[in-house]
Amino acid sequence: MATRIGFGTLNWSSLSNLRVLDADEALIAISPFKSNYVLPQLMALLGGEGIKLQRNTEGKVSAELTLKALTPRLDAGELTFSKGQPMTKGDFIGIIRFLTYVSRKEILPAGAKQVAPEWARFSTCVPLILSAFKEFRNLKYSEWDFEDSMIDQLVDPRMLSILKLSGTEVCWDASDLLEFQSIARTVKTGASAGTARHINSTTAISKVGDEDFDKLPSLVRVLLLQTWVFQPSLATSLGVYNLLDIDAPAEPLITADVFKQKSNSKTTKLIDEVLW
């Protein structure tokens, strides 16, 4: 018997080739899919009981095993949209490409801001596909295997750079990170040189003069400095804010030390082992 797992009023298979399109072609392709209702319905679609998650021998949820188990079910038409039409393999690939390949700015409806409370659940700090399982099945992010060979099919590259560092302690305390934040927010050129950029618009962190910090992936630096969508005041239960525990909120920098490490040399080794 077919499993009804969502909605199918859009031609999702048309997005299955997103990764080979140039930027302009991709924007044209996704334009029919930008709507206030699309993201919430996609989360319900993916988080429903139709997709059977598979665990590896270590007990972690495996993207590879899950996708391989799903393929014959899609080929057999076992999964359907809410109106009964079968979900094809092309439809499913189009959906996951939409959620992992396209930037959050382009996915969100026109005028939506990621720092607005109503859109925080879909902001860059949320791994969208994994969040569907967390929201609807209470599956923690830490239950996934981030070294899985196909995890990049389910998580966008920038977020994956954070998730691959999960459990890592860092050597900087709150005062260090606040100093880095001040440096990063300072406008360097133009008429506004010397002034502080608003924390909401500090979407990228340039070099701050600390060699170990500066070599971290860009979104990891934003997370550690708690700017843009990673501000504790904007936190949602589905966002990732804390490298030590990706399912827990981060302590605000202004009130407590975060991710304090006992040994700087050990921390540097941990980070070097997982970078790039």
Among positive and negative, which fits the CA dihedral 165, 169, 172, 174?
Answer: positive
Distance separating alpha carbons of residues 125 and 228, to the nearest angstrom:
9
Structure tokens at 95: 């959906």
Residue 38 token pair: 């699309």
**Per-residue pLDDT in tens (0 to 9) along the chain, 276 residues:** 444 444 556 788 989 888 888 888 888 888 888 888 889 989 998 998 889 999 999 999 999 999 999 999 999 989 888 677 888 999 999 999 999 999 998 999 888 999 999 999 999 999 999 999 999 999 999 999 999 999 999 999 999 999 999 999 999 999 999 999 999 999 988 888 889 999 999 999 999 999 999 999 999 999 999 999 999 999 999 999 999 999 999 999 986 444 344 344 444 434 344 333
How far is Cα 55 from Cα 23, in angstroms, rounded to an integer? 35
Contact between 251 and 257 under an 8 Å Cβ cutoff? The reply is: yes
* Distance linking the first and last C-alpha atoms of the chain: 44
Nearest-angstrom CA–CA distance, 187 and 269? 32
Residue ranges per structural domain of the chain: 3-154, 174-274
User: What SS3 class is residue 164?
Assistant: coil
